[in-house]
């Protein structure tokens, strides 16, 4: 932390000072307050060891991380504020460590008490081009958090900003309090958790997909993860995917409806509970309240894929999608 503070003072001065300050007024509506924008670019080269992990903490704006085939990290910052004094309070610190970790953090220095600066009046946006094989740990607050084209997964944390992930391999973990989350083309285990907003999944593959949403819905398309656990408390779950051989699906909701469409690659046993359950014409209701159906004939020593669907107060619909 102390290193961070030290370098927070040094790095911006050294790294960004040589960049000319294009302080052009931002085109804005006539009734908008005038603002000042300052842009800077920086490239850091690995010193001996490649960058393995990039930690970004930007509570003041958007974060966009794009993977590319190079070895350097290219950073573009965009500071915006009502005047130069406000811009001067905005800081971007950059701490490269010998273990291959690079930390970036944005802060706002304290200013005169007589002129408090509202958080909404300033922002820092970061665009980072990073080596594909670096692991990304990024946090934002109300700003958007976008990660794309990375191969070593990530850990993304947002307050109310949207999380968008596209074309990422490796283990991915996302958390958001009230921002929507969209994961597309993720090839690796996924753990997504949202308190109050929606989760959209598209083209997900990997060993494990665990997602939970408290107030919001989950929509999944083209999901091929082997083990899947989706949970909502108050939102619907609409899911279309492919059941892996011996895969395990648990899709559950407290009050939301569940609609699942699956392709199968082997024998699949589906069981469901809900206020109203529709598993197709072959389904049978048991005395314990479960409705069950089996697709395909189970051979000796064969383990089926299992699908468990349950909604305490919502309906459950399941259909098999043929090849």
Partner 1 sequence: MTCDDVRPRLTAYLDGDLDPDRGTVVRGHLRTCDACRTIAEQESVLRDGLRDLPTVDAPSGMWANIQSQLAAAEITESRRPGWKRALARWTPMLPRFAMGGVLAAAAVGILWWRTHESVAVEPAPNKIVDVASPKIESSAPIAVAPKTGCNLDAPAGTDVTVDLAGEAARVTACYAQTAAELMTLARETRGTWTDEQRASFDVQVADLQKAVERAEDGRPRQRAWRAMNRYLQTTLTRDQVALASAVTP
Nearest alpha-carbon partner for 239 in 227, 251, 221? 221
Residue 297 C-beta: closest distance to partner 1, Å:
27
Verify binding: residue 111, partner 1, rule CB under 8 A. Answer: yes
**Number of residues forming the site for partner 1 (CB under 8 A):** 54
Verify binding: residue 117, partner 1, rule CB under 8 A. Answer: yes
Residue 154 C-beta: closest distance to partner 1, Å:
15
Q: Distance (Å, rounded) from C-alpha 185 to C-alpha 127?
A: 21
Rounded to 5°, the CA angle 316-318-321 comes to 160
| Structure tokens that stand for 200 in this block | 């959209």
Q: Distance (Å, rounded) from C-alpha 84 to C-alpha 35?
A: 9
Q: Distance (Å, rounded) from C-alpha 212 to C-alpha 110?
A: 38
| Piece of 14-22, 37-45, 111-119, 289-297 that binds partner 1 (CB under 8 A) | 111-119
Spatial neighbors of 154 by CB under 8 A, at least 6 apart, are 65, 135, 136, 137, 138, 147, 165, 168, 170, 172, 173
Residue 13 C-beta: closest distance to partner 1, Å:
16
Q: Considering the complex, state which of residue 202 and residue 308 has its C-beta at the smaller distance from partner 1.
A: 308
Residues in contact with partner 1, shown as a per-residue x/- string from 55 to 84 under the rule CB under 8 A: ----xx------------------------
Which residues would be at the binding site for partner 1 (CB under 8 A)? Answer: 1-3, 5-6, 47-49, 52, 59-60, 89, 97-100, 107-111, 113, 116-119, 121-122, 139, 141-142, 157, 159-160, 175, 177-178, 193, 195, 210, 212, 214, 229, 231-233, 250, 252-254, 308, 310-312
């Amino acid at each position: 932390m102390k290193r961070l503070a030290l370098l927070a003072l040094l790095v911006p001065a050294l790294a960004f000072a040589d960049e000319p300050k294009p302080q052009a007024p931002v085109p804005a509506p006539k009734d908008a307050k005038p603002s000042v924008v300052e842009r800077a670019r920086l490239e850091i080269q690995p010193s001996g060891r490649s960058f393995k992990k990039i930690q970004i903490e930007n509570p003041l704006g958007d974060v966009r991380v794009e993977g590319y085939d190079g070895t350097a990290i290219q950073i573009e910052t965009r500071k915006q504020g009502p005047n130069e004094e406000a811009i001067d309070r905005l800081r971007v610190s950059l701490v490269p460590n010998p273990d291959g970790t690079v930390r970036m953090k944005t802060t706002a220095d304290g200013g005169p008490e007589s002129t408090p600066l509202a958080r909404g009046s300033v922002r820092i946006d970061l665009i980072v081009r990073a080596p594909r094989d670096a692991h990304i740990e990024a946090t934002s607050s109300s700003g958007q958090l976008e990660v794309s084209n990375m191969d070593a997964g990530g850990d993304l944390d947002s307050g109310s900003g949207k999380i968008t992930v596209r074309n990422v391999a490796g283990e991915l973990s996302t958390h958001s309090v009230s921002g929507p989350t969209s994961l597309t083309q993720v090839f690796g285990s996924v753990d997504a958790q949202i308190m109050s907003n929606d989760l959209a999944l598209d083209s997900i593959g990997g060993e494990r997909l665990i997602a939970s949403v408290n107030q919001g819905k989950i929509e999944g398309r083209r999901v091929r993860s082997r083990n899947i656990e989706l949970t909502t408390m108050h939102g619907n779950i609409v899911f279309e995917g492919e059941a892996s051989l011996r895969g395990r699906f648990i899709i559950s909701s407290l009050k939301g409806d569940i609609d699942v469409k699956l392709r199968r690659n082997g024998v699949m046993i589906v069981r469901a509970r809900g206020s109203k359950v529709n598993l197709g014409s072959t389904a049978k209701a048991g005395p314990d309240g479960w409705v069950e159906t089996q697709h395909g004939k189970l051979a000796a020593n064969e383990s089926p894929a299992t699908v468990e669907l349950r909604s305490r107060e919502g309906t459950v619909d399941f259909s098999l999608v043929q090849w």
